Amino acid sequence: MFWADRTIESALLLHYLIARLRYWNPAAVRYLNIGFGIESRANRLAPFWAEHMQRTRSAQARWAVTTDFRANGDGVGRGRLLDFNRTVLLPRFSNLQLVDADPLCRHVWKKLPKPVDPVCVDISGCLDEWIASLKRVHQPWAETLEVIREKSAPADAAFCVNSDALLSLNILSQLQIVWQEGVEAYLQGRFGRDFVKKHEAEWLDALRPGDRRWWSSTWRRWNAVARPM
Ligand SMILES: C[S@@+](CC[C@H](N)C(=O)[O-])C[C@H]1O[C@@H](n2cnc3c(N)ncnc32)[C@H](O)[C@@H]1O
């Protein structure tokens, strides 16, 4: 949890508390926690992140010059724009859509020198709903794991890309983590931390079918409309 980290600076903590007054629903709080956690680590670990940031921005520059796209670009997982190569990517697109579920990203994106189209959604179309639905599960351990195992990919509610090119800045890799953390928190609340730790292999195994189905359906949907990734 971002707020439980005792090493975060007080200015960032104050900013976080103000944001929590404004955004209080569980899904928004989940992504606020991710965003503030990233910002805090980026501040504290800047020297260690420098090489990663530099390589990510160089990769975006290479992608931009070798990609044959037209006018529309989609940036999924733009988050706080920490690793976004604005110098290369902003002039390259006439329309740029930035996408992230963290509601505070809109404020960060507004500060860019060129207007972008902000989209604040859960791109999986199912993670927020799946995590919220766990609260309605009251069965014993084995049956609860079956409910988790049976989660399947969304049919048509998921976010759809309609762009000439799509660039994911470290978001696709996060989706399974968000689902895993949501399940773990729910199981710990119901069965206790020690029990959940002891039965880790069982609940991790129950997560995989949903992860895989979600992943393959997203990949197919995105791949059909936008290249390259
Ligand atoms: C590792 S961070 C990417 C950091 C980003 N490149 C930046 O500069 O801040 C992952 C991002 O994915 C977003 N995210 C995670 N799951 C999401 C979902 N289901 N839908 C939309 N955004 C999501 C988080 O809010 C976070 O900003």
Task: Give the C-alpha separation, 78 to 85, whole Å.
Answer: 10
The verdict on the CB of residue 85 being under 6 Å from ligand 1 is no
Paired tokens of 65: 């010059």
For residue range 116-128, what is the model confidence (pLDDT) as tens digits?
Answer: 888 888 888 888 8
The verdict on the CB of residue 104 being under 6 Å from ligand 1 is no
Residue 215 pLDDT > 80, yes or no? Answer: no
Residue 156 pLDDT > 70, yes or no? Answer: no
Distance 198 CA to ligand 1 centre (A): 30
Query: Taking phi first (over 0 means left), then psi (-120 to 50 degrees means alpha), and beta for anything else, what does residue 159 get?
Result: beta
Q: In terms of residue numbers, what domain contains 188?
A: 2-225
120 closest CA partner among 99, 141, 144 = 99
Which ligand 1 atom sits closest to the C-alpha of 82? 8
Q: Whose CA is nearest to atom 7 of ligand 1?
A: 79
133 closest CA partner among 117, 118, 144, 124 = 144
Residue 108 pLDDT > 90, yes or no? Answer: no
Do residues 182 and 124 touch, judged by C-beta distance below 8 A? no
Cα Rg, the chain, nearest whole Å: 19
Paired tokens of 155: 């049919």
Q: Which residue has the tokens 């993670």?
A: 127
Task: Give the C-alpha separation, 94 to 203, whole Å.
Answer: 46
Count of domains observed in the chain: 1
Distance 78 CA to ligand 1 centre (A): 7
User: What is the model's pTM?
Assistant: 0.85
Angle between helices 141-149 and 200-225 (to 10 degrees): 10
Do residues 1 and 40 touch, judged by C-beta distance below 8 A? no
For residue range 29-84, what is the model confidence (pLDDT) as tens digits?
Answer: 999 999 998 888 888 888 998 998 899 889 888 887 666 555 556 666 666 778 88
Distance 220 CA to ligand 1 centre (A): 20
**What's the mean pLDDT when you consider all of the chain?**
83
Distance 131 CA to ligand 1 centre (A): 17
